[in-house]
């Protein structure tokens, strides 16, 4: 079955162009644009891990190693398309135009973090596994009924393919011929469970056969393969030719979240070897060097610019008005139950006591 779903690659690990059909499109400016986004989201990701370790945000889900999958797919979208992320796809939402401050607010436990910029159709991150897939189908079908050319892309990991929502989403999209792209980032593990313990199928892409839709596998560390193949799937959906399931084969270097210890279940030497051989940013650097386009001064300036941009967003997040803790009680039910009212009264009494103690 793997032979029926070969991994599509445009640029190999050494930065050589494998697909000559797109070589003319890989201009210096085009490649630098992708490199900019890759560096930007990796810098953000590393700063968030640091913020969590300092206690400045809550538990965080890193994505380092998966940058090409998120950047390449998000850059293929049109402005009016829908993006349905999981909790690990803030690299894609950043690339699509989400507010960095609001993404940080989300990781600081604030509801405001779920609000996208005006005009951006970005769904709140899906925390329960795979629940965002049926939502994406619904949004895509609504666009179809309205007669627009807008499509939806929905992100999920390999573990999500073991959930009922995955199968329900694909089945409904198939029946409705909905303009949606299912974008799976297969990093080989659902937290601590390796792929071979999740499923007997050799690929995730082949699951598309059950729903009579197109399935394809791509090198998820090749940002250009991700971009061009996602673009094909999006265009197909826009033209009424149905949904696509994309399996983007990638590798995440770090933990599932900052509350996790990957050394307990995953060979860290494998991560180090992949960082040296298949890293998505290193691959684009090699392409730039092969073409004679690599400019160390430009790279240094870029790194400085994105660092300052992210630092400014962190400052905005930390200066954001403090949450009103009473909201916890006021927005559970339409009318508070007696238990909620008692808890609220006890909380307010405790709060008044703290204020009195602090004023002494």
Give, in order, the Cα–Cα distances in Å from 87 to each of 123, 149, 156, 203: 11, 27, 9, 23
Tell whether the model's pLDDT for residue 323 goes beyond 90.
no
Per-residue confidence band for 267, with pLDDT thresholds at 50, 70 and 90: confident
Instruction: Considering only residues 342 and 328, tell me which one the structure prediction assigns the higher pLDDT.
Output: 342
The C-alpha atoms of residue 124 and residue 113 are separated, in whole angstroms, by: 8
Give the global pTM: 0.93
Tell whether the model's pLDDT for residue 357 goes beyond 70.
no
Query: Nearest 5°: phi and psi at 329?
Result: -90, -30
Tell whether the model's pLDDT for residue 95 goes beyond 60.
yes
C-alpha dihedral (307, 98, 157, 139), degrees to nearest 10: -170
- Lowest average pLDDT, out of 170-174, 259-263, 301-305, goes to 259-263
Per-residue confidence band for 359, with pLDDT thresholds at 50, 70 and 90: low
**Residues marked as catalytic:** 252, 256, 265
Q: ∠ CA 39-44-49 to the nearest 5 degrees?
A: 130
Q: Where are the alpha helices (DSSP H) in the chain?
A: 28-53, 67-75, 90-96, 100-107, 132-146, 164-176, 223-238, 268-277, 280-291, 296-318, 327-330, 338-359
Mean per-residue pLDDT, 230-235: 98
The C-alpha atoms of residue 160 and residue 175 are separated, in whole angstroms, by: 21
Give, in order, the Cα–Cα distances in Å from 172 to each of 153, 165, 207, 287, 291: 15, 10, 14, 41, 45
What is the torsional sign of CA 115, 304, 10, 206?
Answer: negative
Burial of 257 (0-12, 13-18, 19+ CB in 10 A): middle
Segment 151-166, tens digit of pLDDT: 999 999 999 999 999 9
| Average pLDDT over the chain, rounded to an integer | 95
Tell whether the model's pLDDT for residue 190 goes beyond 70.
yes
Tell whether the model's pLDDT for residue 1 goes beyond 80.
no
Give, in order, the Cα–Cα distances in Å from 233 to each of 85, 284, 343: 18, 23, 51
Per-residue confidence (pLDDT) for residue 251, from 0 to 100: 95
What is the number of alpha carbons within 13 Å of residue 122 lying toward its C-beta? Answer: 28
142 close to 151: Cβ distance less than 8 angstroms: no
DSSP string of 341-358? HHHHHHHHHHHHHHHHHH
Per-residue confidence (pLDDT) for residue 325, from 0 to 100: 85
**Bridge partners of 189?**
194
Instruction: Considering only residues 315 and 354, tell me which one the structure prediction assigns the higher pLDDT.
Output: 315
Mean per-residue pLDDT, 40-44: 98
């Amino acid at each position: 079955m793997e032979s029926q779903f070969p991994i599509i690659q445009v640029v190999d690990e050494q930065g050589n162009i494998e697909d000559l059909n797109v070589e003319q499109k890989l201009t210096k400016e085009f490649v630098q644009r992708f490199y900019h986004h890759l560096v930007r989201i990796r810098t953000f990701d590393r700063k968030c891990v640091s913020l969590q370790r300092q206690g400045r945000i809550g538990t965080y889900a890193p994505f380092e190693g998966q940058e090409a999958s998120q950047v390449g797919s998000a850059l293929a979208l049109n402005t009016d398309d829908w993006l349905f992320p999981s909790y690990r796809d803030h690299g894609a939402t950043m690339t699509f135009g989400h507010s960095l401050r609001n993404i940080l607010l989300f990781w600081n436990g604030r509801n405001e973090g779920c609000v996208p910029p005006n005009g951006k159709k970005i769904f709140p991150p899906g925390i329960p596994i795979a629940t965002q897939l049926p939502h994406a189908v619904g949004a895509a079908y609504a666009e179809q009924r309205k007669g627009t050319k807008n499509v939806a892309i929905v992100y999920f990991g390999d573990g999500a393919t073991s959930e009922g929502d995955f199968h329900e989403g694909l089945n409904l999209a198939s029946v409705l011929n909905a303009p949606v792209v299912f974008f799976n980032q297969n990093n080989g593990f659902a937290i601590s469970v390796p792929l071979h313990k999740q499923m007997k199928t050799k690929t995730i892409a082949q699951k598309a056969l059950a729903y009579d839709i197109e399935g394809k596998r791509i090198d998820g560390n090749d940002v250009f393969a991700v971009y061009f193949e996602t673009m094909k799937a999006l265009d197909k959906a826009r033209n009424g030719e149905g949904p696509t399931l994309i399996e983007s084969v990638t590798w995440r270097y770090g933990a599932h979240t900052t509350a996790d210890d990957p050394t307990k279940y995953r060979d860290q030497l494998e991560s180090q070897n992949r960082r040296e051989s298949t890293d998505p940013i290193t691959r684009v650097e090699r392409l730039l060097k092969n073409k004679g386009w690599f400019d160390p001064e430009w790279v240094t300036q870029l790194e400085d610019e994105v660092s300052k941009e992210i630092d400014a967003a962190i400052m905005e997040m930390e200066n954001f008005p403090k949450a009103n803790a009473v909201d916890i009680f006021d927005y559970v039910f339409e009318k508070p139950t007696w238990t909620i009212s008692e808890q609220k009264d006890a909380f307010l009494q405790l709060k008044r006591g703290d204020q009195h103690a602090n004023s002494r």
